[in-house]
Amino acid sequence: MAPLVLVVTSLEDVTADLVINALNTRGVPVARVDPADIGSGLTFGARIGVGAPAWSGRLRTASREVELEEVAAVYYRRPTPYTARFAHLPVQQRDFATAEARHGLGGLLSSLEGAQYVNHPAAVTRADFKPAQLRMAAQLGFTIPPTLVTNDAETARNFAVDHGPVVYKSFRGLPPDEGGRAGALWTQRVAPDTFDDALAVTAHLFQAEVPKTGDVRVTVVGRQVFAQQVAAPDGSLDWRRGDWSELMHAPITVPAPVETTLHSYLAAFGLVFGCFDFALTGDGDEPEHWIWIECNPNGQWGWLPDAGAITEAFANILSGKEAAVHDHARRA
């Protein structure tokens, strides 16, 4: 069999569809798998041993058979959580089956010899914690907003006195409710007189509000950088909260020092790809300044006006047209 690209994601992933179509157009063999299909719809067997130090074997889906040793690249997108596969089981059985599938099948898919991962799931996990993101960004020289992580009301009030006005940001999105509907908590301004002992229940992230004049989304794929200034029609604090089809976009040039540091950031976490958000400050009387907000190591980009070019950048890396940016980005 010819070397192929393994796309690990859910069936409904339209962003992955863009990349798969581009690879198909190039004649690159592609196999799509959702690990949560484990069962009759997804079977596998892999071996390793003395004299054979790499996993070899076969993975079968309803429509494909994949020889693991033929996988040249893995596009690890957004697979269905294993918990969904075992949701019907009693709690103990569900948790056991989920852990076994994640460590067994997930472990195999994360340990394919010589495969180019975009991105490796272990690297995504490391880079997904906002405290780690902020520390790395600050160490590399990005300007970041003063930030507090706390569960103490008095500490939060003191931070607001020192750095107000302040905003609250969640670390993660809302999980699906009983009906399967997902939700989100947008960045929002908060008043310190609302802080009370309820903060002690869990962790909270507060930041000094950036007096921004604009927002920028920067998508980095390998050595290629794509940047769009993004604005909501209503000028809301968080452009993500409205109708994305109504967002206004304009291409923007990333300053050379910022671009260099973007690549250093990805290299530090062993990433090949990342979606960065920046806030712009300054006006016509002073230079524009880029304030680092966050990096999503598995962010969405299919909605951007330059999605076509981004798709081709992914296809270049996965098909071997562009070498890995850093050797350690191949394997976390």
Domain boundaries, the chain: 4-114, 146-208, 211-301+309-318
Residue 243 makes CB contacts below 8 A (sequence gap 6+) with: none
Burial (CB < 10 A; 0-12, 13-18, 19+), residue 79, is buried
- Across the chain, mean pLDDT equals 91
- Residue-wise pLDDT for 15-47, tens only, equals 999 999 999 999 999 999 999 999 999 999 999
Task: Please give the pLDDT value at position 328.
Answer: 43
- Which two structure tokens, joined as six digits, stand for 47? 């071996």
Give the fold, CATH level 3, of 211-301+309-318.
D-amino Acid Aminotransferase; Chain A, domain 1 (3.30.470)
- Distance, CA of 97 to CA of 89 (rounded, Å): 9
| 30: three-class secondary structure by DSSP | strand
Arithmetic mean of pLDDT, 274-290:
84
Task: Please give the pLDDT value at position 324.
Answer: 47
| 252 touches 228 (CB < 8 A) | yes
With a cut of 80, say whether residue 224 has pLDDT above it: yes
With a cut of 90, say whether residue 296 has pLDDT above it: yes
Across 61-65, 96-100, 265-269, least confident range: 61-65
With a cut of 50, say whether residue 68 has pLDDT above it: yes
Architecture of domain 146-208: 2-Layer Sandwich (3.30)
Helices (H), 164-274: 256-269
- Which two structure tokens, joined as six digits, stand for 120? 């490796």
- Distance, CA of 266 to CA of 312 (rounded, Å): 20
Arithmetic mean of pLDDT, 89-99:
96
With a cut of 80, say whether residue 308 has pLDDT above it: yes
Strand 289-296 with 52-61, pairing:
unpaired
- Distance, CA of 210 to CA of 229 (rounded, Å): 16
Arithmetic mean of pLDDT, 132-146:
97
Task: Please give the pLDDT value at position 172.
Answer: 86
In the structure, what pLDDT confidence band is assigned to residue 161 with cuts at 50, 70 and 90?
very high
pTM over 0.75: yes
The percent of residues in the chain predicted with pLDDT above 70, rounded, is: 95
Burial (CB < 10 A; 0-12, 13-18, 19+), residue 127, is buried
Task: Please give the pLDDT value at position 186.
Answer: 87
With a cut of 70, say whether residue 284 has pLDDT above it: no
Across 93-107, 188-202, 243-257, least confident range: 243-257
With a cut of 60, say whether residue 330 has pLDDT above it: no
Task: Please give the pLDDT value at position 183.
Answer: 72
Task: Please give the pLDDT value at position 329.
Answer: 47
